[in-house]
Amino acid sequence: MNMVKRILDIVMSLLLLIILAPVFLILALAIRIKMGPPVLFTQRRPGYKGRPFNFYKFRTMTDQVDLEGKLLGDEERLTALGRWLRQYSLDELPQLINVLKGELSIVGPRPLLMAYLERYTPEQARRHDVKPGITGWSQVNGRNDLSWEEKFALDLFYVDNQSLVFDLKILVMTLLKVLKAEGISQEGWATMPEFMGESTDVERRELEDREQEDPGEGERKQ
């Protein structure tokens, strides 16, 4: 299966890069005009077995800093153009280059941050037993509107049940999700909250329980 999947990845990414070349050019010009250089956001991410690679996205945020020289929060740096790019997943298009290079697959668990590698439980770390992808099972079942616990469970389901038929199902569901622009982020967050370890979701649920018991508590903390 791995060889067939790699061949399909090469064919699909190459065709899409050729077909979407005008779109790439228009988006790159828009980003350059609205936000200035660089057009691409590049970051080291863990790939298959946790091996790092340079991950590409269209830039969606500015580099604005506060008076102390620290980057502002995601919500403050996310531009209107960037929000639109994220809404329709257009910021992900440069990852077709990663697919062509063999660093990503079209379908697989999303590559997260290098810092998360040491925070995973051994079970969660199994998400790196397959090549990461542009889209995946957790993406089409909630995307960033999921808790980390839910996201990892879906990733592991894919690892244990991957097949070409499953990949085709995910691709069809991805197209529908993109058109509906669903699950871009959790309520109150411009992006996915940082994963701090296995206690993250427990603490989140405890906070939600306390807010249900005293609805005003969450408002006082903000």
| Residue 206: per-residue pLDDT | 47
| Residue 88: per-residue pLDDT | 86
Task: Show the low-confidence residues of the chain (pLDDT under 70).
Answer: 181-192, 199-222
Query: pTM value?
Result: 0.80
**pLDDT tens digit string along 31-44?**
999 888 999 999 99
**pLDDT tens digit string along 167-179?**
999 999 998 888 7
Give the contacts of 103 (CB within 8 A, at least 6 positions apart): 47, 53, 54, 55, 131
Are 57 and 95 in contact by the 8 Å Cβ rule? The answer is yes
Domain ranges, ordered by start, for the chain: 2-221
| Residue 75: per-residue pLDDT | 79
Q: Which two tokens stand for residue 49?
A: 């077995």
Strands 40-46 and 52-58: antiparallel
Give the contacts of 56 (CB within 8 A, at least 6 positions apart): 40, 41, 42, 94, 95, 97, 98
